[in-house]
Chain A
Amino acid sequence: MNFDFSDELKQLRDQVRRFLSEQCSSAVVRRSADGQEVFAADLWREIGRMGWIGAAIPETFGGAGLGYEGLCVLAEEIGRALAPVPFGSTAYLTAEAILTAGSDAQRREWLPKLADGSVIGCFALSEGSGHPEPAAIHARVVGGFLKGSKWPVADGGIAGITVVVARDESGQPALFLADLAGVRRRELKTLDPTRNHARLDFDATSVERLGGGWGSVQRVLDRAAILFAFEQVGGADACLTMARDYALDRYAFGRPIGSFQAIKHKLADMYVALELARSNAYYGAWALGADATDLPLVAATARVSATEAFDLASKENIQTHGGIGFTWAVDCHLFYRRSKQLGLTIGSAPFWKHRLVDLLESRNAA
């Protein structure tokens, strides 16, 4: 049994963590939070240059061929640093959709540009309130032209291309690829200003079909759920560290607040949730790399676990900080916002819990 990342990947993790602590400091995140820039474009270029975006893309399509375990390691660090870059939209969703459902020509055309960061991708799924399920899809493609509105779309305001979930001429939901030039976009104000979101209005936009139907959509979501779980684990870990450091430094009643059991037990609970989420995510990393048959159940489990851990860690980090914790000046709220952003973006907890039990039932019936 070797249920751990390899020494090479651990080394990569250390390098990435060091790099991001310098190049993606709180000041960089805050430029997006304060609206001074839409996203960290300089950081994005560097990330593309270093091959992170294409970590799991095969070398034949311009990727680094590092594999999915490598991409998971990167995802955790992106989450820890609150990086204001379109990493998930481009790497876990757009590139994955093209890898999963695209033709060889589509892969050859788009994957190298996604891998080096020169083209940003976004995944246009939601059409307002609701869960990511077939009944919620109304956008429609007729004669190769797409009509419909998608919102919110993470990174929709900065992406060059989009993978859209829409109905084909037979009315079945499927994946389509569109260039966003000429598509009407409206930038949206959201809970998490460190991440770009837009509404995309397609009015007879020319699209190409990717292969597969709803099964492909679900496969992309399942695989992305594991990668987002790593971002959530990274964010939760950062919150626990912040809360721990504060509890050591902050004195009340003549002693560090970390010596009070009320604080200790809170932090212990954050630790427990985080460790369970981390272990579930690790199993997900293995399932991604092995393309395991039980990947959907593993993904739902990792997603549920990681959403719970980041939610708990981000809110209790604020609580541990007391008054200063709910000011704009301290980073607690940035994690709290990101926790909700990640928790909602590809289907919220109730959706994934429902899916988890569906999969559990079909496994037990088998």
Chain B
Amino acid sequence: MDFNDTPEEAAFRAEARAFLTANAKPRVGTRPVLRQGGLDAEAVVRCKKWQAKKADAGFACLTWPKRFGGREASPILQVIYNQEEGDFIVPRGLYEIGLGMCIPTMMAYAADDQLDRYVRPALRGEEVWCQLFSEPAGGSDLAALRTRAERDGGDWIINGQKIWTSGAHLSDFGIIVVRTDPKVPKHEGLTFFFLDMKSPGIEVRPIHQMSGARHFNEVFFTDVRVPDSQRLGAVGQGWRVSLTTLMTERLAVGDVQRPEVDDLVELSRRLRIDGKPAIQNAAVRERIAEWHARSQGLKFTRFRTMTALSKGETPGPENSIHKLVNASKQQDIASYGLDLMGAAGLVIDDDLAEAYAMFQSALLTSPGMRIAGGSDEILRNIIAERVLGLPPDSRADKGIPFNQVPTGRR
């Protein structure tokens, strides 16, 4: 075992660090960035400028083909770049879905001339992409989606509603899975497209989250026309294409969240219980130790994944562990930190709140983390079925034409 980079990795790390040092401020010692309101117009401009700068320097989408501006680098170099970038303050939040999920799906299914048209502008950050999957009736049970597409000559006409679409209001294009045949069982009647988000008949409405953020949207489709040439995969094969997208999702997520365990340690040193620093309290110590062990376990699990990556292996469903552990830990640490503060834990005012209000902020964002991008329950199912090999749950909708599947009122 060793934790050193190979000579090639070390050279790349130095190159990445030099680029970042020249173009961004280091994060060390700064207060955490709390994204309360989602991206405003100014932040979008900053994101676009930064992405163009990255692309010019050859640090955008390192694993992608050279003809689109990538380096055809091994995935380990992308991980190294992300590690280095994590030490700097750079604009984030606009491209994760598009570059992490949409374009990889395009690369697997779109025609060559389409790739020539769309990939490079996406990599350069000139065009933003979103992913239109979830629906009011299809969240964890994604294949239960109801948005319809009907053929009209060389086009398809889409009607229905998507929800939880990150960044739809900022996007130029989107990938979408819709129902093209309601008379066959649910997985068999789906088809996958990409579309222009400026198409007539698309209406985007932001969702006001409990944390105050407006990151997600509802997207309504009224007679939206999409040419058949923008279909990805065969008619009725939409589920299979969706799985390609979802596989990349679990690799894409995984930023460092505050408060970390060290933030709780710091807080426990300042606050007092029975006149002594809270960190001397046995109950507090036990909780800190348990969360530290969990954090470190995740960190070293990531090291094991990196090792597999550098050996050319493809990370699989075992990666579900990261979000599953992190989201709950985040919620628990936030809640516990507030408990230590007592009544003052309620206060969010900038001048009075403890620790830049990061515990209060995490209390309100962590419930969403446990649901978005695969709920805790779905992640446990994935581990049970695809890692441990347990059989799928018995399903009431199995083999039944979609239009005869029982539905509830919600």
| Contact status A357-B288, CB under 8 Å | yes
Query: Is the Cβ of B265 less than 8 Å from the Cβ of A361?
Result: yes
Bound Cα distance from A293 to B307, whole angstroms: 23
Residues of A within 8 Å of B99, CB to CB, are: none
Which A residues between 308 and 331 are near B, CB-CB below 8 angstroms?
A: 308
Q: Which residues of B contact A (CB under 8 A)?
A: 1-5, 9, 76, 262, 265-266, 269, 279, 282, 285-286, 288-290, 292-294, 296-301, 303-304, 306-308, 310, 318, 321, 324-325, 377, 379-381, 383-385, 387-394
CB <8 Å contact, B290 and A308 = yes
A277 at the interface (CB under 8 A from B): yes
Known contacts A272-B383, A364-B262; A261 and B377 CB within 8 A of each other: yes
The docked-state distance in angstroms from the alpha carbon of A104 to that of B318 is 48
Interface centre among B294, B318, B381, B384 (most CB of A within 10 A): B384
Bound CA span A356–B282, Å:
12
Contact A3 B1 (CB under 8 A): yes
B393's partner among A248, A259, A353, A357 (CB-CB below 8 A) is A259
Contacts of A283 in B (CB 8 A): 296, 300, 303
Which of A119-127, A161-169, A263-271 is near enough to bind chain B? A263-271
Chain B CB within 8 A of A4 CB: yes
Min CB–CB distance B143 → chain A (angstroms): 18
Q: How many A-B residue pairs have CB under 8 A?
A: 159
Give the residue name and chain of the A residue nearest to B294 (CB): A276
On whether the beta carbons of A3 and B377 are closer than 8 Å, the reply is: no
The answer, yes or no, to whether A211 is at the interface (CB within 8 Å) is no
Closest to B318 in A: A275
A268-320, CB < 8 A from B: 268-269, 271-272, 275-277, 279-280, 282-283, 285-286, 289, 300-301, 304-305, 308
Residues on A with beta carbons closer than 8 Å to the beta carbon of B321: 271-272, 275-276
- When the two chains form the complex, which single residue of A259, A272, A279, A357 contacts B390, counting CB atoms closer than 8 Å? A259
For the complex, is A333 an interface residue (Cβ under 8 Å from B)? no
Q: Measured between C-beta atoms, what is the minimum distance from B23 to chain A in Å?
A: 26
B325 proximity list for chain A (CB < 8 A): 272, 276
Q: Which A residue's beta carbon lies closest to that of B296? A: A301
A258 at the interface (CB under 8 A from B): yes
Measured CB to CB, the closest approach of chain A to B330, in angstroms, equals 15
Residue on A nearest B277 in the bound complex, by CB: A361
If A1-B5, A304-B293 touch, whether A279 touches B304 (CB-CB below 8 Å) is: yes
6 tightest CB-CB pairs across the interface, nearest first? Answer: A276-B297, A264-B384, A353-B289, A279-B300, A268-B380, A258-B390
Give the CA-CA distance A277 to B266 in the complex, in Å: 25
- Can you list 29 pairs linking A and B with CB atoms under 8 Å apart? A1-B9, A1-B76, A2-B310, A3-B3, A3-B303, A3-B306, A244-B388, A255-B394, A261-B393, A264-B390, A267-B388, A275-B318, A276-B293, A276-B325, A279-B298, A279-B300, A279-B301, A285-B1, A286-B3, A289-B1, A301-B292, A350-B282, A352-B289, A353-B286, A354-B285, A354-B286, A356-B292, A357-B292, A361-B265
The prevalent SS among residues of A at the interface is helix
Taking the closest CB of chain B, its distance from the CB of A206, in whole angstroms, is: 41
Asked if B279 and A357 make an inter-chain contact with CB atoms under 8 angstroms apart, the answer reads yes
Contact B297 A1, beta carbon cutoff 8 Å: no
Which residues on B sit within 8 Å (CB–CB) of A4?
1, 304, 307-308
A275 touches B393 (CB 8 A): no
Give min CB distance, B399 to chain A, whole Å: 16
Which chain A residue has the least Cβ–Cβ distance from B383? Answer: A268
Say whether, besides A259-B390, A269-B380, A275-B321, A282 and B288 are in contact (CB < 8 Å).
Answer: no
Known contacts A244-B389, A280-B300; decide if A2 and B2 are in contact (CB<8 Å). Answer: yes
Task: Determine the chain A residues whose CB is within 8 A of the CB of B269 once the complex forms.
Answer: 361
Across the interface, name the chain A residue whose C-beta is closest to B268: A357
B262, B285, B384: which contacts A267 (Cβ < 8 A)? B384
A247 within 8 A of B: yes
Total number of A residues with any Cβ neighbor in B under 8 Å: 48
Q: Determine the distance from Cα of A251 to Cα of B299 in the docked complex, in whole angstroms.
A: 38
* Minimal beta-carbon separation of A5 from chain B (angstroms): 7
List which A155-202 residues lie within 8 A (CB) of chain B: none
Decide if A360 is an interface residue (CB 8 Å cutoff).
yes
For residue A145, CB closer than 8 A to chain B, the reply is: no
A76 within 8 Å of B (CB atoms): no
Report A-chain residues with C-beta under 8 Å of the C-beta of B282: 350, 354
Q: What B residues does A128 contact at CB under 8 A?
A: none
A67 to B83, CA, bound (A): 31
A260 at the interface (CB under 8 A from B): yes
User: Is there contact, CB below 8 Å, between A301 and B262?
Assistant: no
- CB-contact partner of A279 in B3, B292, B303, B392, under 8 A: B303
Name the contact of B394 in the complex, choosing from A259, A279, A300 (C-beta under 8 A): A259
The distance in angstroms between the C-alpha atoms of A93 and B262, with both chains bound, is 33
Asked whether, in the complex, the Cβ of B1 is within 8 Å of the Cβ of A282, the reply is yes
Besides the known contacts A276-B321, A276-B325, A286-B1, 14 further A-B residue pairs in the complex with CB atoms under 8 A apart: A1-B2, A1-B76, A1-B306, A255-B394, A256-B390, A259-B394, A275-B297, A275-B318, A282-B300, A304-B289, A350-B286, A356-B289, A357-B289, A361-B269
Instruction: Tell me, yes or no, whether A69 is within 8 Å of chain B by CB.
Output: yes
Name the residue of chain A whose CB is nearest to the CB of B297.
A276
